[in-house]
Amino acid sequence: MVYANAMLAGSFIVAAIGAQKDLRLWAAALVLHLVGYLALALRPHLPELAYVLIANLAFGGLLSLFLVGVNRLRGRLSGVQWTVWPVVAMGVLAIIVTDYGLRTKLISAIMLLQAGLLLRTTVGYRRENVGRRGAELLIAGALIWSAALVVRISAELFGWDNSESVSDSTWSQLILYLASLSATILIAISVPMMLRERSEAALQASERHYRRLIESSNEGVVIISDLMIRYANPAACGLLGAPADALIDRPYLDYLHPDDRELSLRVHQLRLKGQGDHQSYEVRLRRRDGVERWVRMNGVRYDWGGRPATLAFMSDITQQHQEHEKDRELAFVDPLTGLDNRRRLLMRMHDALEQARADNHLVGVVFLDLDNFKPLNDKHGHAAGDDLLIQVGQRLRQRVRSTDAVARLGGDEFVVLLPGLGPDMEAAWSKARPLAEGIREALGKPYQVVPVAMRDESPHLERVITHRCSASIGLVLSHPGEIDAQGLLDRADQAMYRAKEAGRNRVSN
């Protein structure tokens, strides 16, 4: 029996020193169990008081430690009075009670109380953790221990046992020893099971918790393994425009814009190597219904069924992207006419000159200023002037080629960029001048202007303002190999002033 207890205690100590720190308390209890039986085994070599005191303190201490251990598994702290005082009482009884029979009955009663508390606590743990086999084994051990103690007390009370000292080998002592060993074996088996079951329950609870968080998240969450979608939460299904069962085991690249697939694949492969965690990037999702959504992708490496995967998070940034594009567009567009502004015009001119140099072509610039615009503003207000400027923009769009660009520089100044006029200077002039003359003729026709104050009403004929407004136009061509966009624009501006000085409503070089 001593050898069996030594083996159990030793195995628990090894496990406790290793990964299972929660086993330390139980290892200490088994060590006390071993100490108790060693004291009994060495009783021929020890004073009676010594081995009786050591054995009682050891057995009382191990039951107290078992009780503390179960309470810790329940997440509770047992009261000091139920763990300390039984041990103290058993030690005092071992010292002051010399009558073997009385001492046996009192100490057995205390141990029975401890076993009962252990049984009640374990039953409570079992009730809180349905289906726990480890707790059931511990309950069986506590019941065996309690039953043996009841038999021992009954034998003393009813005279069934005539032993007069611990050294007497009687049937009741044999039952108690065997029951103690059996209970200890059951407890030794039950404790690792209870710890494992507790860990599994905690893991399952954690998984349920995080699954609820993911399922209720407004952010799309997908798991990608072997380039396939393995999981998609409801938010991701909404972004991808398909239910979960239609997404699972489908190639995730199918749901990305073709231009964004290479980037996404590269980041996915980096994450699989553990090098791209939390690297964010923006891609376009292409849904089955044809709708595109901009999302910001982020993620980390993840294990899915033993296979390397990525846990990806998708934040819908479609609205922000649209607003950004709108702001970006406004930075290059004249808000009144919708034409290019000076900033975009210079960018287009620079690109056109670079291309012209590469192709050995010429570029033309038409710079125009309205001749009779200020009197309209002065007499009818800026609302009427704005209406005329809008109509000027519309007429310019109608007169230019699809390859030309139209811009408003501000006020009543407009520019038309004429790229791709060919390599020959004379041929380029023969193309550019008719375009400039056509613009002059189109802008010279009368305008029907309605002031803003009248636009919400049904305009009558007498409320419509008829205004004539010609244009002075400067036309220039780039020099071969010229790349100075601002210089070319300045030359066109100077040519426009020459048109004004020459009498207006004309095209000057």
SS3 readout for 298-324? EEEEEEECCEEEEEEEEEECHHHHHHH
Question: Contact 122/144 with Cβ under 8 angstroms?
Answer: no
The label of the residue with tokens 């929660």 reads 22
Beta strands of 124-246 (E only): which ranges?
A: 220-225, 228-232
What is the amino acid identity at position 95? I
**Residue 483 in tokens:** 């790349």
Provide the pairing of β-strand 507-508 with 471-477: parallel
DSSP alpha helix (H) spans, 18-47: 24-41
Cite the beta strand spans of 175-328 per DSSP E. Answer: 220-225, 228-232, 281-286, 292-304, 307-316
This prediction's pTM: 0.46
Give Cα 489 distance to the centre of its chain: 52
User: 509 and 495 in contact (C-beta within 8 Å)?
Assistant: yes
Q: Does 378 lie in the same domain as 415? A: yes
Q: Annotated active-site positions, please?
A: 412
Q: Does 348 share its domain with 497?
A: yes
Q: Are 454 and 378 contained in the same domain?
A: yes
The answer on 151 and 19 residing in a single domain is yes
Helix/strand/coil for 414: strand
Question: Are 30 and 179 within one domain?
Answer: yes
Last residue of a domain, one of 322, 354, 372: 322
CATH code of the domain covering residue 305: 3.30.450.20
Which residues form the domain of 43? 2-212
Asked if 165 and 201 sit in the same domain, the reply is yes
Over its C-alpha atoms, the chain yields an Rg (Å, rounded) of 47
Q: What angle do CA 190, 193, 197 make, to 5 degrees?
A: 135
Specify whether 240 is located in the same domain as 385.
no
Q: What is the pLDDT along the chain (509 residues), one digit of tens a residue?
A: 444 555 454 544 544 444 455 667 767 777 777 777 777 677 777 787 786 788 778 877 777 777 787 777 777 665 545 567 778 877 888 788 877 778 878 888 888 888 888 888 888 777 776 557 777 888 888 888 788 888 878 877 777 766 655 555 666 667 777 777 777 777 777 777 777 777 777 767 777 777 777 777 888 889 999 999 998 988 888 888 889 888 999 999 989 998 999 988 888 888 888 877 777 888 999 887 878 889 998 888 888 888 889 988 998 888 887 777 676 666 788 989 989 999 999 999 999 999 999 889 999 999 999 998 988 888 888 888 999 999 999 999 999 999 999 999 989 999 999 998 999 999 999 999 999 999 999 999 999 987 755 545 444 444 788 899 999 999 999 998 888 999 999 999 999 999 999 999 999 99
Choose one of 164, 190, 212: the last residue of a domain. 212
Closest CA to 296 of 267, 310, 312, 316: 316
Asked if residue 139 lies in contact with residue 193, where contact means CB atoms within 8 angstroms, the answer is no
* The pair of three-digit structure tokens given for residue 36, joined into one six-digit string: 């108790």
Three-state secondary structure call for residue 457:
coil
15 and 154 both lie in a single domain: yes
Query: Do 435 and 387 contact (CB within 8 A), yes or no?
Result: no
**Same-domain status, 137 and 171:** yes
Cα-based angle 318, 323, 324 (whole degrees, multiple of 5) = 95
In the chain, the number of structural domains is 3
Question: Please, what is the angle between helix 425-443 and helix 382-399, to 10°?
Answer: 140
CA 376 to chain centre: 60
> Locate tokens 């009783």: which residue?
43
- For β-strands 364-370 and 405-410, DSSP reports them as unpaired
> What pLDDT shows up at residue 303?
86
The CATH number given to whatever domain includes residue 428 is 3.30.70.270
First and final C-alpha spacing in the chain: 118
Q: Can you tell me the distance from the alpha carbon of 74 to that of 440, in angstroms, rounded to the nearest whole number?
A: 92
Domain boundary among 182, 212, 242: 212
* Residue 173 to residue 164: CA distance in whole angstroms: 12
The reported pLDDT for the residue numbered 3 is 47
Report the distance separating Cα 495 and Cα 429, nearest Å: 15
Strands 447-449 and 471-477: unpaired
Give the pLDDT of residue 12. Answer: 47
- Least Cα distance to 474 among 456, 457, 488, 458 occurs for 488
Whether residue 340 sits in one domain with residue 287 = no
Distance (Å, whole) CA 300 – CA 123: 43
pLDDT score, position 18: 46
Q: Residue 301: phi, psi to the nearest 5?
A: -70, 145
| 472 and 399 part of one domain | yes
SS3 at position 333? strand
User: Could you tell me if 9 and 89 lie in one domain?
Assistant: yes
